[in-house]
Amino acid sequence: MKTTNYTTIGSMTSLLFAALLLTSSASAQTAEEIVKKMDENMTFNTRTGNATLEVVRAGQATDTRTLRLWGRGFDDSYSEFLTPARDQGVKYLKIAKSLHMYLPRTEKVMTISGHLLRESIMDSDFSYEDMLEARALLADYDAKLLGSETFNGEDCWLLELTAKREGVSYYRRKLWISKKTYVAMKMERYAETGLLLKTMTARDIKVHGGRNYPMVLEMQDAMRKGSKTTFTMSNVVFDVAIPESTFSRRNLMKGN
């Protein structure tokens, strides 16, 4: 006669119960909590790195540019294009909601504002308006949890964000946020009419300083048929000392 191993059964039951508790805890999170964790995951004090910007348009050769990046928190960033030769020395400075560009051909600094913010950066699918976006989405949007979906093999929460006020870049957004990494694996951006304007996806998630960070972002502007832009980061370092002078208009003229 077989002897029942109650210790083993008890252990299995405990493990199953613990797994159910974890699942219940994850599903019990509110939309606001999920978005906050996504923002916290992407928050850093400072960041440096290199990047490649590849623009693909139907029937045209891929246009590739390289640049160097410096960032400080949500609000401040400085970037300098390195190649190709025609764009070498073009620089951008973002301070909060203010964006400035230096053009070496004219040796002048110009402020990008108003309708110019909707123009594309270097003929890419990213606009200057996209560049100015802060990551603290809950300041501008109400969040609603729609459910769960799988995207590129990743189990994600599906959320809908609706603008709280006028003047935001996109009236509505849909986000697929990974339950494992809290990275927005996909984001669709809509006009108030419901028209899909842009789709951004993330991949190649790496762990840097305890945070999950996407090394590759791909943007597709629905208004530009057959176009997509891939932004790939490399040599990324977080929480390094960056001189205060880096984030200044004077530095646009000086370089680094």
Say which CATH class 31-254 falls into.
mainly beta
Q: Is 19 left (phi over 0), alpha (psi -120 to 50) or beta?
A: alpha
Give me the residues paired with residue 232 across strands.
52, 216
Give the model's pLDDT for residue 134. Answer: 62
Every domain of the chain and the residues it spans: 31-254
DSSP tally for the chain: helices H, then strands E? 4, 13
Give the model's pLDDT for residue 5. Answer: 52
Among positive and negative, which fits the CA dihedral 186, 192, 196, 199? negative
**Tens-level pLDDT at each residue, the chain (256 residues):** 444 454 444 454 454 444 444 444 445 799 999 999 998 888 889 999 999 999 999 888 899 999 999 999 888 999 999 999 999 999 999 998 899 999 999 999 999 988 888 899 999 999 988 887 766 788 889 999 999 999 999 999 999 999 998 888 899 999 999 999 999 999 999 999 999 999 999 999 999 878 899 999 999 999 999 999 999 999 999 999 999 999 999 999 875 4
- For the entire predicted model, the pTM comes to 0.84
Distance CA 148, CA 151 (A): 10
Cα–chain center distance at 224: 20
Block residue for tokens 């028209």: 195
